[in-house]
Structure 1
Amino acid sequence: MLAATKRVVAVGVGAAVLVAGLAGCSGFDSLGSSGGSGAKKGVAAPKGPVRLIGDGSTAFTGTQPGLLKPERLKPGEAPPQFVVFSWDGAGEDSQKLFSHFRKVGKKYDMTMTYFLSGVYLLPEKKRAMYDPPKYPAGRSDIGFNDVQGIRDTVRELRGAWLDGNEVGTHFNGHFCGKRGVGSWSVEEWKSEISQAKSFVKNWKTNAGLAGAEPLPFDYEKELIGARTPCLEGRENFTRAASELGFRYDTSGISNQVWPDKELGLWDLALQLVPVPGRSFETLSMDYNFMVNQSGTPRGDPSKHRYWGNQMRDGLIKAFYRAYQGNRAPLIIGNHFESWNGGTYMRAIEETIATVCVNRDVKCVSFRQLVDWLDAQDPKVLADLRQLDVGQAPKGGWDQYLADKSVAWTAPQAVRKPAEKR
């Protein structure tokens, strides 16, 4: 199983310290107007025949439970306040944070996105199967896994998907810096993506677990988005992702404004949010708060609670800035880590408990957010993008979005490939 401290050095965001000046009700039908937003509690497994794929590591089991049909905004209707909680390098290790936050998601009737690192489904003894760009085969800056760790991670991935959550990718070896993902070509990114898919689609064979239950989804169809390690290499990754049919990227840095598309992908960037008591903002991610506070995952224990409260309060300020202003989706990134005594995990749980229970708030996965965005009138989204950070529409939503609705045509299934470099 992955050791609790194994990933501390490697995970995180390259542009960590962000100081001042650095740029770093219609929702889903069947939802009430207050509280909750994601998978329904007690959702059963999909009904119908199970069709195994390949060696049986994955399977087609029908439509994913817990997904709610997106509805188009009506003229003059305020957009929902979306909040996306996402997890980089999702895997179940001795800390059991994956299973814990699955329970949190059920408690608040929400969905999240889990970005799986492919090597967490590859046993150490098979490490040579991974051939990373610019590094020798078998190299990974976050290690690999053991058979029990793979069993545990697959169990949580299976349950997460059946709860309505999304399984994305954080790729494999988590290489940052000079020889890292920032130096990869489009073709090297395609190789990395292909290998990440392969480790998911062949975990039974690779781990010697032929009799285990499959993951209940077709990963070729499930995988529609990602976040790059350390937020590096985004330019060539998005070119590769666009050509491979991805629907979004969340590797960028943005203010709290409504997203647009780039190369056919929704740019759902991490956002600059307040740091209470400080004169600058930082990225909406646990790692960045930690670096700005202690600079180490093992900072002064006497300050742990203060640091967690500071992150929680900063995220909540960012939430209300959007909720009472432009209603731009709030994007939050995290890691299953116990940095500074686990204070950031507490902060995230308390943030969820505070924001996801509000009226017209939808705490959802990236998949559910892009489904909603794709269902909207492009002219309405263009108007929403005119609103600045925290800017409420003059005259209210009923005036700002009045008479904006026109006949909507479903987006084309085939996207024009991006120009190759």
Structure 2
Amino acid sequence: MRARRNVTAGLAVMAVLATLANCTGNSHDSQRSGNPGQPRTDRDAQRNGPAAPKHPKLSGKQGRLIGDGSTSYTGPQPGQLRPRRLKPGDKPPQFVVFSWDGAGQDGQKLFSRFRAVGRKYDATMTYFLSGVYMLPAKKRDLYDPPRHSRGSSAIGFNDIKGVKDTVEQLGAAWLEGNEIGTHFNGHFCGPDDGVGTWSPKEWIDETRQAVSFVKHWKTNTGQRDGEPLPFDYGKELVGGRAPCLEGQKNLIKAGKKMGFRYDASSVGGRQVWPKKIHGIWDFPLQEIPVPGHSFETLSMDYNFLANQSGTTKGDPSKRAAWGKQMRGGLRAAFRRAYKGNRAPLFIGNHFESWNGGTYMNAVEDTIKKICPKKGVRCVSFKQLADWLDAQDPGVLRRLRKLDVGKRPKGGWAGFLAAEPASTHSALPVKRKRK
């Protein structure tokens, strides 16, 4: 049955589209203030590679520097799943993707906080980096955004310390198996000259600049002695999420030319198995329950805020209830997939302490509660794309016929019985983290 939505839910979606232009991710700019369960023990899977170090140091290992030495090639990414095809009688893994828009490290230290959460509960995530967070304000004129004046950005720029701190987190996150995607650059929204009006050519130019800021952070900050990122961003980048969730149609056209494998920019998705658009996986924010209401909202922290307070500094006496409501909504969405059609669950977030950190705490509690469960895989969008691409297309077509929360008639044992047998197991085997 299609997810129920009423006028209130529709207004909440419109609110996030209209106001995300003011959502600054980590609020980095030249005047930034800097103050804004039980771990899994039954490892029934294995990730590739050795245990990842906590910091992206190249000491003691070979790394080929790239360009000005801002990035390097250190080999295949550690901590990746080994995709395996489902076989008849298998129940699909329950994939959950936690993603972060505008990822960067500032005085709140939320990037490092959730890296630690991911390590503890065996969750890899997708961090969508805003390219201007790699560009100090004094070099702002290097950014020439489509349809806007050179050196402009709706979310400001960074300072040198902010760039260095973000580089450290990005490198460590990648070594731990997380994905570094893109949130592009200036976060321009709106019907006149926002990203929703951009052509495929303009999206390509915007992405090229985002990659360039990462690959030249040393030159742009003057910090020549810093440790390089342990990966080539131009090759690792395979997907992103558009600011304000606008402009997907032309972004996908651009992404196809750039070699993207997925896009996470669409809104109003349902908890069903994903499909491709023009050869690119469409991973939308999904409609999920709002406890105490009959409508549903998008699976993102900002949408719960829009439904609850409409402001980032709401009534402190209500914050505990708001956090409980978000936790309840995320868990309800998880349960109906986990016990139903096993469709991947997509949860979007921002590194922000809105309403006193209410939503950060709700997300952390959700990770703690669901990621250690049997059969659950908290992965990045890239890892999910790997798994989907490894499956038999006929199997995926059958999975997509399952509606929201609906189990196969007769159970999973016979659902894929008509498909050819495989010698592979259904679940990727994970390595035990040290």
Scaled to the shorter chain, the TM-score interval is: 0.7 to 0.9
Is the helix fraction higher in 1 or 2?
2
Question: What secondary structure does 1:176 align onto?
Answer: coil
Q: Distance in 2 between matches of 1:75 and 1:194?
A: 43
Q: Distance in 2 between matches of 1:16 and 1:35?
A: 43
Q: Distance in 2 between matches of 1:196 and 1:183?
A: 19
Is 1:388 the counterpart of 2:403? The answer is yes
Find 1:240's aligned residue among 245, 249, 254. 254
Could you state the TM-score of these two structures normalised by the residue count of structure 2?
Answer: 0.85
The 1:287–1:131 alpha-carbon spacing in structure 2 relative to 1, beyond 3 Å, is same
Is 1:129 the counterpart of 2:142? The answer is yes
Residue type matched to 2:233 in 1? Y
Contact preservation (8 Å) 2:50, 2:78: no
> What is the CA-CA distance between 1:221 and the residue it aligns to?
1.2
Could you state the TM-score of these two structures normalised by the residue count of structure 1?
Answer: 0.88
Partner of 1:89: 102
How do residues 143-222 of structure 1 correspond to structure 2 at under 5 angstroms? 143-178=156-191, 179-222=193-236
Unaligned 5+ segments in structure 1 are 1-11, 18-30, 409-421
Question: What secondary structure does 1:114 align onto?
Answer: strand
How do residues 24-63 of structure 1 correspond to structure 2 at under 5 angstroms? 42-44=51-53, 49-63=62-76
> What is the CA-CA distance between 1:75 and the residue it aligns to?
1.3
Q: Distance in 2 between matches of 1:159 and 1:269?
A: 27
The 1:373–1:16 alpha-carbon spacing in structure 2 relative to 1, beyond 3 Å, is farther
> What is the CA-CA distance between 1:137 and the residue it aligns to?
0.3
Is 1:264 the counterpart of 2:279? The answer is yes
Q: Distance in 2 between matches of 1:42 and 1:374?
A: 26
Partner of 2:352: 337
> What is the CA-CA distance between 1:406 and the residue it aligns to?
6.6
Aligned length: 384
Q: Distance in 1 between matches of 2:190 and 2:372?
A: 40
If asked which structure has higher relative contact order (CA below 8 Å, sep 6+), I would say 2
Contact preservation (8 Å) 1:86, 1:112: yes
Identity of aligned residues (%): 63
Q: Distance in 2 between matches of 1:209 and 1:79?
A: 47
The 1:265–1:51 alpha-carbon spacing in structure 2 relative to 1, beyond 3 Å, is same
For residues 51-81 of structure 1, give each alpha carbon's deviation from its aligned partner in whole angstroms, at most 9, with x where no partner exists.
1111111111001111121111111100000
> What is the CA-CA distance between 1:39 and the residue it aligns to?
8.6
Q: Distance in 1 between matches of 2:42 and 2:246?
A: 39
For residues 77-116 of structure 1, give each alpha carbon's deviation from its aligned partner in whole angstroms, at most 9, with x where no partner exists.
0000000000000000111000000000011011000000
RMSD in angstroms over aligned alpha carbons? Answer: 2.1
Contact preservation (8 Å) 1:37, 1:364: no
Q: Distance in 1 between matches of 2:50 and 2:98?
A: 18
Contact preservation (8 Å) 2:86, 2:422: no
Q: Distance in 1 between matches of 2:382 and 2:18?
A: 26
> What is the CA-CA distance between 1:405 and the residue it aligns to?
3.1
For residues 224-245 of structure 1, give each alpha carbon's deviation from its aligned partner in whole angstroms, at most 9, with x where no partner exists.
0100001001111110001111
The 1:205–1:137 alpha-carbon spacing in structure 2 relative to 1, beyond 3 Å, is same
> What is the CA-CA distance between 1:402 and the residue it aligns to?
1.1
Q: Distance in 2 between matches of 1:406 and 1:119?
A: 49
For residues 311-358 of structure 1, give each alpha carbon's deviation from its aligned partner in whole angstroms, at most 9, with x where no partner exists.
111000000000000000000000000101100000000000111111
Q: Distance in 2 between matches of 1:69 and 1:399?
A: 25
Is 1:304 the counterpart of 2:315? The answer is no
Q: Distance in 2 between matches of 1:362 and 1:373?
A: 13
Q: Distance in 1 between matches of 2:254 and 2:281?
A: 14
Residue type matched to 1:310 in 2? Q
> What is the CA-CA distance between 1:403 and the residue it aligns to?
3.0
Contact preservation (8 Å) 2:87, 2:422: no
> What is the CA-CA distance between 1:407 and the residue it aligns to?
8.0
The 1:93–1:51 alpha-carbon spacing in structure 2 relative to 1, beyond 3 Å, is same
Contact preservation (8 Å) 1:37, 1:109: no
The 1:380–1:170 alpha-carbon spacing in structure 2 relative to 1, beyond 3 Å, is same
Q: Distance in 1 between matches of 2:296 and 2:352?
A: 22
